[in-house]
Amino acid sequence: YGDVPNYPRSLPNILITGTPGTGKTTTSEMAAEATGLTHLNVGDLVKTKSLHEGLDTDFDSYILDEDKLIDEMEDMMKPGGKIVDFHTCDIFPERWFDLVIVLRTDNSVLYPRLESRGYNAKKINENMECEIMQVVLEDARESYAEEIVIELQSNSIDEMEENVARIKAWKEQWVIDNAK
């Protein structure tokens, strides 16, 4: 996908990614409210449109059908104005996004968040390791231009509010910079 030229859009697309539990959905909802952009929860889309090849019973999670997912999202992404919320960032075409935010959470904060979701031990351990190894951050840096990838801490409500304010300011500047 990387060699397909970018197409003009009047509003930016933002990807909010990170290990499960780092606050993608909560941050995306608040950022959508603050910016007027539309929150697109990819996990929900995968479930409601069956864009998967069944359940991985070990991890209690869906096995993505990436081609179906990209096809389903293409027309939604075209006009811009989407805040895409997903734990995987390296499956999307690079041209879709103007900003990629990777949320990060300290181990001592993330563990109880995952526990309180009722995840099984295997799934908790997998996600803790993902966060410790910075898997999503490194995937984001490999998949998108360096200058559009931003790492933000998401340990507290204060940090979340700061992150939302930052996204709002960034969006307003993008609109000014990209005005015809």
Residue ranges that bind ligand DAT, judged by CB under 6 A: 18, 20-26, 113, 154-157, 159-160
Residue 154 is which amino acid?
A: S
CB of 106 to ligand DAT, least distance (A): 11
Residue 32 is which amino acid?
A: A
C-beta neighbour count of 177 within 10 angstroms: 8
CB of 90 to ligand DAT, least distance (A): 17
Choice between 23 and 80, CB closer to ligand DAT: 23
Shortest-Cβ-distance residue relative to ligand DAT: 23
Long-range contacts from 106-112, C-beta under 8 angstroms, 24+ separation: 106/155, 107/131, 107/132, 109/155, 110/19, 110/21, 110/22
> Per the structure block, which two tokens stand in for 3?
């060699």
CB of 2 to ligand DAT, least distance (A): 26
Choice between 21 and 81, CB closer to ligand DAT: 21
CB of 103 to ligand DAT, least distance (A): 6
> Per the structure block, which two tokens stand in for 103?
């949320």
